[in-house]
């Protein structure tokens, strides 16, 4: 688990986003966080931001997954994933360069493959349209 947190921090630093992730849940849950934001909370079900920006990073993190699974990520393909994320070995998927010229609802799904079983998790990031330096 520590290795995953260190990798997450390294990816955040490399992409220009430093966050402090929430502690892992006891059962698997896909969470998300949008940066920049006024908080660093990863939320399950839906996340948003309170800060208008010209570009966002949307961070998805599957927390609480035991064992050594592999992952299959699905995310809005018009955005680029940060290096080392959204892979079959990563429980983190970060999409970068998200610009909210209109209201956006971005859903990521991860299928976890472990011991011949597959389990799917989804989470949605909601971004309000940004006009200049404020929300429209």
The domain spanning residue 15 has which CATH number?
A: 2.60.40.10
Residue 82: Cβ within 10 Å count: 21
Please tell me the predicted confidence (pLDDT) of residue 38. 86
Q: Residue 62's closest CA among 110, 12, 13, 119?
A: 110
The pTM of the full predicted model, rounded to 2 decimals, is 0.80
% of residues, the chain, pLDDT over 90: 76
Mean pLDDT of the chain: 86
- Per-residue pLDDT band at 116 (split at 50, 70, 90): very high
119 Cβ neighbours under 8 A, 6+ residues apart: 28, 111, 112
Q: What is the pLDDT of residues 11-43, one digit of tens each?
A: 443 444 444 444 444 699 999 999 999 889 999
Instruction: List 34's β-bridge partners, or say none.
Output: 58
Domain holding 10, by residue range, is: 2-135
Stretch among 8-12, 43-47, 52-56 having the lowest mean pLDDT: 8-12
**Per-residue pLDDT for 48 more than 60?**
yes
* Count of domains forming the chain: 1
Q: By the 8 A CB rule, do 32 and 39 touch?
A: no
């Amino acid at each position: 688990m520590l290795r995953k947190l260190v990798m997450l921090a390294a990816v955040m630093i490399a992409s220009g986003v430093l966050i402090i992730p929430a502690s892992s849940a006891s059962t698997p849950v896909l969470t998300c966080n949008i940066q920049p934001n006024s908080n660093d909370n990863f939320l399950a079900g839906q996340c948003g931001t309170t800060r208008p920006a010209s570009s966002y990073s949307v961070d998805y993190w599957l927390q609480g997954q035991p064992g050594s699974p592999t992952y299959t990520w699905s995310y809005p393909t018009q955005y680029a994933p940060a290096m080392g994320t959204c892979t079959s070995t990563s429980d983190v998927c970060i999409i970068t360069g998200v610009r909210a010229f209109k209201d956006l609802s971005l859903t990521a799904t991860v299928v976890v493959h472990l011991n011949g079983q597959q389990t799917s998790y989804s989470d949605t990031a909601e971004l309000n349209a940004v006009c200049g330096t404020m929300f429209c």
